[in-house]
A and B are shown apart, each in its own frame.
Chain A
């Protein structure tokens, strides 16, 4: 009935499992090259849930898909390093990546109906995921699949295993996706908006499942989301992305309750809360996110930033400025002005 979703974040700094260095993902578009990911450094540590937060077009999905080469193609240019298990995944061949995907790094997508094969039963999709990477007999894989479906909280896993995706509800399909993701006990699970399409009561169920299996299996999760509430529920650490760059990163509570970057402040201020005082007007961020191929040479948020300075003309580095250890941001605003900015909700 009840589930403790919120928990103290992982405090002890664990070993890195995935290290991203100067990752750039560019797409050829009619106007030129779109810098979807524009030089990102990010480390996913063991047993943590790292939330990558951003709005549409911020590059969060492009980043996560490029980690396992899911967006490789003639119009995509990926550079930088992604170190995982002593290998560089950016330099890895498609064959090498196939061995990693689904086994050591699994992906759970938002749209389970599109991601599942409509012609195969749920159970066989999970067992095929097992057999794709391990030489086990059919019967054994099938038993394990049913076990996994039970583990992700499906009542009557036998029956669900025999069902086709269209016979399952959205929440059930998303659980099947998580079961597939866990099938080979991966070190890393990339969950791209895994609950965005679900209603809140079902979302709460699926988040609880995700959190529980993450802890039981000791999986490291890179959670891609636009929903700051979801971040508050399940993340240990948070990285905020804007226009292809990380603008702030730190422990969950540091970023959510002591934001340092004006974009983070504005984003947090834009979400109308379900408790506390009701504001007459929301402190909205003015303007729109950058979507074109042209990017400012300096801070990408400067055109929308109410606290823009002369110094913003240079690209700011992501480093510790006014937060705690490990709390870094890419804003040159001096300390006193930040406090003032935060008091105003980060926007006009």
Chain B
């Protein structure tokens, strides 16, 4: 397993709430993103996944906690050092229209990170931009045009070219394909996975779409109400999620299932809605919607603990038991828990 490129330790983001209260958007998040991996970050609106992505790049300043990038403390960096490090950290946004300056030519938009963060000369930047626009399938001639002349999928390619311009090591893609129609989404996903592979990028891929995440991510992290509640490899997660919320999330996805599989498929529909983040429940934050919550869950918040190598869950009653075998190898067994 490779070393972490980006690490968050007890990372906290708070906003002032109503009546002098504080809303905790991130609740002491611990997370390692490994060199060269794509980590899929999933969860529903308001769970804090975008906040985490932005806080990791210090687009949002964390209220507490620490971020390490390639071994240095990003949270304490200032001035030139921060600027130089920023070149290694880039972001692809959901809305390719809102995130591209409509008055500027595409070539200038893509060149900006190169000029600003890498101190490239105009000539160097022009050459690099032409290559990048080719790379994302738009062609160098696209540089002379302006964003509005492009379709949504093409604008997303411009956003990707801009994010890659400074040759970053780490990219946060926040719902980068969510606004696109499926036929276009597939094109952009293919482009992203090619780029990640060819350039050895490390990526945090934030999405609410579990199918998309499964396609592109090596590992999955699930968030609920500002906390990470499960981390697992892609295959472990999709074959047997350990947290009751993860299981409900997977079960809720309306999906194409082959006929003859299970004609009268009973689907788990989670009751209730996300609690008000300004007024979260005592104990486990998920217990108000959890089908297997017990008295303990009402009083004690579970820790995020490793139940098998590479597999962590924040639940008193994980659906997977990770008891170590005599030889030390883990054999996570799917528990027979009926939700």
Binding site for B on A (CB under 8 A): 1-8, 55-56, 169, 171-172, 199-205, 207-208, 226-230, 232-233, 253, 256-257, 266-275, 278-286, 288-289, 291
Q: Can you give 9 contacting A-B residue pairs, CB < 8 Å?
A: A2-B266, A2-B268, A6-B263, A7-B264, A200-B208, A253-B259, A278-B234, A281-B193, A288-B154
Contact of A203 with B252 in the complex, beta carbons under 8 Å: yes
Q: A55-B184, A273-B256 are in contact. List 7 more A-B contacts (CB 8 A).
A: A2-B267, A201-B248, A204-B269, A205-B269, A226-B181, A269-B186, A275-B255
Contact of A271 among B211, B251, B259, B270 (CB under 8 A): B211
Q: Which 3 A-B pairs have the closest CB atoms?
A: A229-B254, A284-B186, A272-B215
* Complex alpha-carbon distance, A198 and B93, angstroms: 20
Contacts A171-B273, A284-B190 known; A257 to B259 CB distance under 8 Å?
yes
* Complex alpha-carbon distance, A282 and B189, angstroms: 8
Contact of A226 among B182, B208, B259, B268 (CB under 8 A): B182
> Is B35 an interface residue when CB atoms closer than 8 A count as contact?
no
Within 245-262 of B, Cβ neighbours of A (below 8 Å) are at 248-259, 262
Contact of B267 with A229 in the complex, beta carbons under 8 Å: no
> Is B103 an interface residue when CB atoms closer than 8 A count as contact?
no
Contact of A232 with B183 in the complex, beta carbons under 8 Å: no
Query: B38 CB to closest chain A CB, in angstroms?
Result: 12
Query: B177 CB to closest chain A CB, in angstroms?
Result: 10
Write the chain B residue with the least CB distance to A252.
B259
Query: B196 CB to closest chain A CB, in angstroms?
Result: 12
* Complex alpha-carbon distance, A181 and B182, angstroms: 29
> Is B294 an interface residue when CB atoms closer than 8 A count as contact?
no
Chain B residues contacting A172 (CB-CB under 8 Å) are: 273
Query: B231 CB to closest chain A CB, in angstroms?
Result: 18
Binding site for A on B (CB under 8 A): 44-45, 151, 153-154, 181-187, 189-190, 193, 208, 210-212, 214-215, 234, 238, 248-259, 262-271, 273-274, 291, 339
Chain B residues contacting A207 (CB-CB under 8 Å) are: 254
* Complex alpha-carbon distance, A202 and B274, angstroms: 10
Chain A residues contacting B184 (CB-CB under 8 Å) are: 55, 284, 288
Query: A29 CB to closest chain B CB, in angstroms?
Result: 16
* Complex alpha-carbon distance, A266 and B184, angstroms: 11
Write the chain A residue with the least CB distance to B43.
A199
Write the chain B residue with the least CB distance to A205.
B269
Write the chain A residue with the least CB distance to B259.
A253
Write the chain B residue with the least CB distance to A207.
B254
Query: A274 CB to closest chain B CB, in angstroms?
Result: 5
Interface centre among B238, B259, B264 (most CB of A within 10 A): B259
* Complex alpha-carbon distance, A227 and B273, angstroms: 22
* Complex alpha-carbon distance, A60 and B327, angstroms: 59
* Complex alpha-carbon distance, A155 and B274, angstroms: 15
Chain A residues contacting B214 (CB-CB under 8 Å) are: 272-274, 278
* Complex alpha-carbon distance, A55 and B184, angstroms: 10
Chain B residues contacting A272 (CB-CB under 8 Å) are: 186, 189, 211-212, 214-215
* Complex alpha-carbon distance, A227 and B212, angstroms: 13
Chain B residues contacting A253 (CB-CB under 8 Å) are: 259
Contact of A201 with B44 in the complex, beta carbons under 8 Å: yes
Chain A residues contacting B151 (CB-CB under 8 Å) are: 288, 291
Contact of A282 with B259 in the complex, beta carbons under 8 Å: no
